Structure formats: structure tokens, C-alpha cells
Copies of this chain bind each other. A is one copy, B any other.
């Protein structure tokens, strides 16, 4: 960490600051510049809050030199982490293909979609049970009933199931019934939930990027879960909020190489929520694979026109099937595998 002093800083200010820093078990080294002096802090600075130093009157600003996360940091864990979702591997060359409807709507619907996406090559089934909706007057999901319908679809297809957890009181239920527990965009910084997920959830976690989260904030959210005990975190990019409103969000595919560099956790892409339009899904899914992601999460609905939520961004089963044909060809080129 680098402390940049004001031009007006005196010798006594430097002494006060170095004392304060060294009391916390860290070392300092001073660079006297022409106009400005800086103090370099040496040691493990993850425990240090830059703001507690920045408040000093002699300090202009404080800059981090290294990342504030440890468990998720690639620097300390050079190998790719491979997550096992009820037998399906994700990361380290293994691709996860999560597919299914935005919301579970009926037994018939979820089983039909599950069979169809499995036939096309999906290896995990998704389906919303509890839905975060912008309007209190919109359909909020079937709730715990939907979990049982997902289990029926699992019985038929043997696909592990993934669904979103919005409320910590459902953790025991999710531990029993769900294979991959999703934390949604709107809860990425719900720290009360992240802590409990870290401590109590016994299954792998899929952590979506917050709508306007930086890479660092996103990895710090994963660090919350990991520091509380659950190391099995998969990151999922689903588009960020920008000034462009033609698309629902702007899909940030640079996240793939950036996160591969910063962290050892797998990263998958959700092109359905990013664009909000079904015809954006196939090109963006292919682009994601070409950029080196570890999997895709795609909404597929057998009858999008009757979908109770997010119909316009759902692919029909035949479109998904044809997309997966292309994905297989691409995966071959890039030496990736999936089971």
C-alpha cells in the first residue's frame, strides 16, 4: 500500500504516520519526491483499511498495490479450481452447460424442458423457484413447490439442479434439494446472506456479478463466502449496467480473461440476462466459449410466449439444440471437454 502525502506534509507528520502503521505490525519505506513524499507499507496489507490512513490531515490519498483478497487470489493458488456439482465438473478445462426456464411453472413444463436440454448437451438444469422481480405485482415464483418439481425433473433426466436462494431461512431446504445454489445479482452485496451461505450452505455456490460491481467487489463477495467456510464458488457474468439501454445490460466478456488472471475460480457466462433478447444469446454464447469461459447458463423455454417471466430472452429448445452443435465444434478447437 502506498501513502501519498500532501505537499505540505512535515517531518513530524511522516513520523506520526510511520509510527501508526508500524504499530500494526507492518514496515514502512519512504520515497522523498520533488513535490511529494510517499510512504510504502510493507507486509500483509489485506487487514488494513486505506480509509483509516487517508483521514490523516497530512495524507493526500492512499493507493493499493496488491489485491485485498487472499483465498480467491490466483497469486496464492496458481492452479484452476475445479468445482464438482453432483458429479459434473466445472473449471480447469471442464465446461458446465446450465440450461432451463427462467421460472418453474409446472411439472410438465420443467420435465419437458429438462429432457430437451439434456438431449442437446446441457449437464445442469436451472429453473427459478423464488424470483427477484422489480415489481411487487409480478409473478414471484412458485416457491418451495418448484424445488420438488425440479427434483422430479432430476429423477427423469439425472441432471443436477441449480436455483436461486434469496432468503437465508431456506438454506436447510436448499442443502437437501439443490445441487448448485445461485446467489443473484441483486444479492451480490447482501453480506448477511453471503456470510450464512459461507457458513451453512453445503453445496457449491454460483455467484452472479452485481449489476454495477467491479471485478474486485465481485471477487470480494466470493471471498466473503470462502472466508466463512465454503470454498466452492463459481463466478457468473450476466451483464453490467451501462448508459446503453437497447440491451438489458452490457455483457462484459473481458471479464473472462481478467478473472482468469486474478482468481482461480471458474467463470461462466449468462448471455440470456445480459442482452434480454433471445436472438442475442447464440452469438454471445459462442463468443463466450471462444473467449475461454468455463460454461454457460442459458434460459430455454418450450413456449416462451406463455412464460411467466423473461420470455423474450428465452431460446426455444430447437434453437438451443442448434446452438449447442456450434458450441461443440468450438469446444473441440479450444480443447475443452464436458460430460
Please tell me the size bucket of the interface on A. Answer: 35 or more
Among candidates B137, B191, B247, residue contacting A227 with C-beta atoms closer than 8 Å: B137
Contact between A31 and B34, CB atoms less than 8 A apart: no
Contact between A138 and B49, CB atoms less than 8 A apart: yes
Among candidates B280, B286, B310, residue contacting A258 with C-beta atoms closer than 8 Å: B280
Contact between A135 and B257, CB atoms less than 8 A apart: no
Assess A136 versus B228: contact at CB under 8 Å? Given A33-B40, A287-B287.
yes
Query: This chain: how many copies in the complex?
Result: 4
- Could you mark each residue 58-84 of chain A with 1 if its beta carbon is under 8 Å from any beta carbon of chain B, else 0? 000001011011000001000000000
Q: Does A152 contact B (CB under 8 A)?
A: no
Q: How far is the CB of A314 from chain B (nearest CB, A)?
A: 8
Assess A283 versus B292: contact at CB under 8 Å? Given A54-B312, A240-B250, A252-B250.
yes
Contact between B289 and A290, CB atoms less than 8 A apart: yes
Q: Does A44 contact B (CB under 8 A)?
A: yes
Chain B residue numbers with a CB within 8 Å of A244 are: 214-215, 240, 252
Chain B residue numbers with a CB within 8 Å of A136 are: 195, 220, 223-224, 227-228
Chain B residue numbers with a CB within 8 Å of A329 are: 333
Given A31-B40, A33-B40, A136-B223, 17 new contacts (CB under 8 A): A34-B42, A38-B40, A38-B65, A46-B137, A51-B311, A63-B63, A68-B135, A68-B137, A134-B220, A166-B191, A212-B241, A214-B246, A215-B246, A251-B253, A254-B275, A254-B284, A283-B292
Contact between B240 and A257, CB atoms less than 8 A apart: no
Chain A residues packing against B (C-beta within 8 Å): 2, 4, 7, 29, 31-36, 38, 40-44, 46-47, 49, 51-52, 54-57, 63, 65-66, 68-69, 75, 130, 132-139, 166-168, 186-187, 189-193, 195, 210-212, 214-217, 220, 223-224, 227-228, 240-247, 250-254, 256-258, 261, 274-275, 279-280, 283-284, 286-292, 304-312, 314, 326, 329-330, 333
